Amino acid sequence: MNILRAIACGALLTVPATAALAEIDILSVTFTCENNVPVPVSYFNASDGSGAAALIVDNSLVAMRQVPSGSGIRYESVGSDGTYILRSKGWNATISYQAAGSAANEQVIYQECTSR
């Protein structure tokens, strides 16, 4: 229960203040990724269309904000050390990490993730 509370608090920090006062729908899913690795994710969708997500990667809570995507959905973490990226389309997702600095390459952490 404490993890869910921490996820909710962390994700709400990424939603703009006006959206935090709006009604928020919360959806929690667990993706099963390559090698049967479970990755719990909670999505927070405000009635104004803004969104946030929180997930646990390497035993750390990562709060993310929704950003524009050409197809599907995309969330990015906020931080100076680097950026976690969650891409999802339908039931499938990929989670990657890009170290700080424009020359850093994005590295896939979890692939072939599905929530079915």
pLDDT at position 6:
47
The residue count for the chain: 116
Rounded mean pLDDT, 3-25: 54
Task: Report how many domains make up the chain.
Answer: 1
Confidence of residue 15 (pLDDT cuts 50, 70, 90): low
What residue has token string 């929704």? Answer: 66
Confidence of residue 4 (pLDDT cuts 50, 70, 90): very low
104's CB contacts (< 8 A; 6+ apart) are 82, 98
Strand segments (E) across the chain: 24-33, 37-46, 51-57, 60-67, 73-77, 82-89, 92-99, 106-114
Supply the range of the domain harboring residue 25. 2-114
pLDDT at position 100:
84
What tokens appear for 106 in the block? 């994005």
CA–CA separation, 69 and 19 (whole Å): 20
- pLDDT (tens digit, 9 = 90+) per residue, 83-103? 999 999 989 999 999 988 767
Distance of CA 51 to the CA centre of its chain: 10
CB 52 within 8 A of CB 65: yes
Could you give the percent of the chain with pLDDT greater than 70? 80
18: domain CATH number? 2.40.128.200
